[in-house]
Structure 1
């Protein structure tokens, strides 16, 4: 092996200083929760509370009016669950549904990382909400912050006999990389776990945790429904029949960038080899520890694992992992991804249970005048006919349904006008949008609240071109941080200002190629004008079976961007 470089001694960023003096993530959160003079917590604690699974936010729609009235912003908190592979029981769903009404804004948000989010929780209700989530045996530890986030995995057992074992690996990895600090249990659950003289230790994450967030996803070919290459660490399951053998390992993916900073960029993960399943946990641990030791702790915009890899070189990082773990990577095993969207409708698993993929527009579970989704799912949970499985595309799978109960499930869904894909256009069912306004402080523009309306107008264009049923990946975010993985959309729309978006084209349909910037600062009229021309060309000039993203690259509309590299 070549000489391994030593970790850099970084000048700690302000957030690093907050972590250093936090006493293992305690800070003054407990005291701040008791302060009734404000709906907020201290600036330092807003960083630390992320590690506990919550973000402090405020309602930006009311900001100007509250300023006029000389009131502080309407501070509220978002809470996010840690649910490896996105699996929840019927009993857990009922509690989560009730909490949305009791303490939140009445809706449940299903995220692009297979987690639940509750929005609009006031500080005075924060602790009670956390306790009730924990009462279900699901927690929020490390759902946010500079740690390993929720571990994703394919959840629909109707797609592969490997799903259950791969999901178990996701949970094992999540539990293994969990912070060992007892601060969470002390602050939220009133558990005094440490005796006098004892101190916390973090053998994997370290005293100051990771330089930035770290994301892991597992996928089972041919379905890349977790967008495995968009993650810091991606594990591609390799099986033989119904037997899981191991994983191809991909490192260095990440979607975030900053406008005006060329040194920031989206990146797809590099494939560095194959590891047997018996050794994968050790390799995962050493990869996380490598980022802990080598990641940039001075500039948070350059602190993700992708920048560590590009600074050191992929081959050097691979050598460090092998040296530290004592495990040599084998050559990448053959695999093929064909799509990264959800499979809707009924699928039967190898053990005879049925799984039903539902369309949930942008993951927002609520009742409207047309569709009473929240009520329908509550009724299904009450009779315990299924479990509930979140997807990486903000979708939902009703799982482990007995064959004789399928008609009963269909009747309940029909009663409340809930669709599982029939009649939904190809662009709408493949759409992803981040929350953006009105609660995300980073958003420059709308996303979740606007994309359904925009899709209706795009559908008019598609109908004229006889493309309504064509699957096209469209993704919209309110900023370039990448929560909705916009740079993997065949059509990507990234907010620049209210009503203005950058348009990206040309991503691969299976998530193995990034898109390319096509036009900047388009308003709605500009977006529809450009898409009308592009989709018309696609309808008339495409080759048989050609995807829209591939078409825009082949015809030179955009130049091909980065694709997955094998080392």
Structure 2
């Protein structure tokens, strides 16, 4: 039943499939090239290096024409459930200073990233992480990525403990089994690690339904691994701290009246990566698939992975994620194929409560007499900068109190197992280093915002994200103050490209890099990340943020229902109504056009500040073709447009969310410059 090669198709497999086939289970050409005295790896090695947890990058800030790129490497750790033991944190803190950029970055999948590592230091960094209770294996590449779980260390809520346990176990089940990792980075020496759960080991080797290969070093992944990355999480009913709808696979813990584990509800098919101007790529939220008993959960996970492994698209990497397979097949066909690998029928999905977002910031009781503290980290960047010394403060606390850490899916950090007697001392350390630990003192826009690293190191970045979002949030806050919404907040997320690493497509207001200094704007996601946003504007230049967002905020203030959130408002009203209001609002504050039709199929646009605003109900509408100065004068300037030009202009105006006046003025100015 199981295929030992990419699925038979008339289309040629992608280049990466051949690279994986030649790699000898992720060994080559990395094993050879790591020994070479060079600053970077070959293209083939770069693809295999990802499986080991590293991306080759180029610091674009340091590019000099005619010189070699500023090659450096990002290392990403794998931390199921976000768990970071104190020994590992202190090691990473030291490595960041010794080999990296002096910062650590919490990822949106509960791991750490270190940037700025040179090739000559890469092996030493890998080895130090592995020897200090860490791993990077499978943090990148066409395999299961870091398995997420809620970061809250509630000791009196068994469902949270089950989520942690099974996040660990699923991560172990789906970890690549190749010996390449230790051969390359530890010269074949196996790291000392905890004994693997016997149930997990047995489940990985169990076959009979075609889920594994008996003749491969990788029993589950085979020669070709997965068609693309695979993302999984485990959560509890009602807790959406992990953005469950954005995952390839989500398990939701189901307990009985005695709080004993019975099984899991299963979602599948979420994913956010897409490509601009490629309509065949899209963000998608996961579907409910089934319920599975706890005794069968590992078999079901293998069945879902095997279905994607064997039927996912290996010819087009843009179409290779599980979400496209489920979209193309439909849930029923996908469920049927999973049943073949599972070996029996799937049980019906159980009813779940509404999911809510939680960030677990501030001081909380664990339920066992100890405390945990959630610390907000702007965009996940742990650094020392001026009077703000978060990196130093965390190192001092972890060294002194030997505290474990849970990284959160929102790029924050939880210190836990804190003795109550140490609370004041920990607060003093944080305060003395300029670290705010009271969530109520953090601007709510900042608290719920996320951004990806983007420029200068990410090779996919089109524009800024992490470096841009602090200033943009300040401008949004000022705009909310101006429009009479001083206490309002909503989920803002930003990425430098459409891959969606900071999950902007689930935000109430999402910015997605589309051109230098410009973003696609998404609106209407849920504050609890249970609904996809939709694209509102194709390209918004950084300079136009206030102009374009102000009318939306004014409309929100005027038409919102009691306690309605911004995302819910945008979803309820719809974009046609928002765009109509925005067009009228801008025409009232800049120029109000008067429109006539000369009867010969030509539309005349005249600027006059005394005319009424245009509405969508007009038979034939147009905007004033004039700048602000002209529009506020008594003069009128006629410009005729052919019907086809008018229709095209209107279409672009609606798609980009820009007033037609602005579009025409921009086009004419560009044309006149070239005369």
Which category describes the TM-score, using the shorter chain as reference length?
Answer: over 0.9
Deviations 1:431-473 (A, max 9, x none): 1101100000101010001101111111112234564544411
Verify the 8 A CA contact 1:501 1:523 in the aligned structure 2: yes
Give the deviation of 1:385 after TM superposition: 4.9
Does 2:133 align with 1:132? Answer: no
Residues in 1 aligned to 2:72 and 2:367: alpha-carbon distance in whole angstroms: 45
Partner secondary structure for residue 48 of structure 2: helix
Deviations 1:301-330 (A, max 9, x none): 111111111222211111111221134333
State the match for 1:156 in structure 2: 152
Deviations 1:137-178 (A, max 9, x none): 211101100000000001112494422221110111011111
Give the deviation of 1:541 after TM superposition: 2.6
Q: Which has the higher contact order (CA 8 A, sep 6+)?
A: 1
Deviations 1:378-437 (A, max 9, x none): 011111252111011111111121222222221211111212323212211111101100
Give the deviation of 1:353 after TM superposition: 2.3
Does 2:200 align with 1:182? Answer: no
Partner secondary structure for residue 483 of structure 1: coil
Verify the 8 A CA contact 2:256 2:262 in the aligned structure 1: yes
Verify the 8 A CA contact 1:161 1:350 in the aligned structure 2: no
Give the deviation of 1:506 after TM superposition: 0.2
Residues in 1 aligned to 2:367 and 2:7: alpha-carbon distance in whole angstroms: 48
Partner secondary structure for residue 406 of structure 1: helix
Please point out which of 77, 83, 96 is paired with 2:79: 83
Does 2:188 align with 1:191? Answer: yes
State the match for 2:24 in structure 1: 23
**Aligned pairs for 1:352-363 within 5 A:** 352-363=369-380
Verify the 8 A CA contact 1:388 1:397 in the aligned structure 2: yes
Give the deviation of 1:62 after TM superposition: 1.6
State the match for 1:348 in structure 2: 365
Residues in 1 aligned to 2:546 and 2:356: alpha-carbon distance in whole angstroms: 26
**Aligned pairs for 1:376-455 within 5 A:** 376-420=393-437, 421-455=439-473
State the match for 1:147 in structure 2: 143
Partner secondary structure for residue 389 of structure 1: strand
**Aligned pairs for 1:224-263 within 5 A:** 224-240=240-256, 242-263=259-280
Deviations 1:99-144 (A, max 9, x none): 1000100000100000111100000000000000001121110110
**Aligned pairs for 1:551-562 within 5 A:** 551-557=569-575
Deviations 1:195-249 (A, max 9, x none): xxx9961111111100100000122232201101101111122234643332211
Q: CA RMSD in A?
A: 2.0
Larger radius of gyration: 2
Q: Which stretches of structure 1, 4 residues or more, deviate above 6 A after TM superposition?
A: none
Does 2:234 align with 1:218? Answer: yes
Does 2:212 align with 1:205? Answer: no
Residues in 2 aligned to 1:96 and 1:383: alpha-carbon distance in whole angstroms: 17
State the match for 1:104 in structure 2: 100
Equivalent pairs counted in the alignment come to 546
Q: 1:445 to 1:186 in 2, by over 3 A?
A: same
The worse-fitting range, judged by mean Cα deviation, of 540-549 and 284-293 is 540-549
User: Unaligned regions of 5+ residues in structure 2, if any?
Assistant: 1-5, 191-213, 579-675
Verify the 8 A CA contact 2:154 2:161 in the aligned structure 1: no
Verify the 8 A CA contact 1:489 1:507 in the aligned structure 2: yes
Residues in 2 aligned to 1:454 and 1:460: alpha-carbon distance in whole angstroms: 10
State the match for 1:478 in structure 2: 496
Residues in 2 aligned to 1:455 and 1:231: alpha-carbon distance in whole angstroms: 27
Verify the 8 A CA contact 1:227 1:511 in the aligned structure 2: yes
State the match for 1:39 in structure 2: 39
Verify the 8 A CA contact 2:216 2:222 in the aligned structure 1: no
Residues in 1 aligned to 2:183 and 2:222: alpha-carbon distance in whole angstroms: 20
State the match for 1:168 in structure 2: 165
State the match for 1:511 in structure 2: 529
Verify the 8 A CA contact 1:425 1:469 in the aligned structure 2: no
Partner secondary structure for residue 262 of structure 1: coil
User: Unaligned regions of 5+ residues in structure 1, if any?
Assistant: 1-5, 561-567
Q: 1:367 to 1:458 in 2, by over 3 A?
A: same
Give the deviation of 1:261 after TM superposition: 1.1
Deviations 1:471-511 (A, max 9, x none): 41111000101111110010010001111001110011222
Residues in 2 aligned to 1:341 and 1:491: alpha-carbon distance in whole angstroms: 18
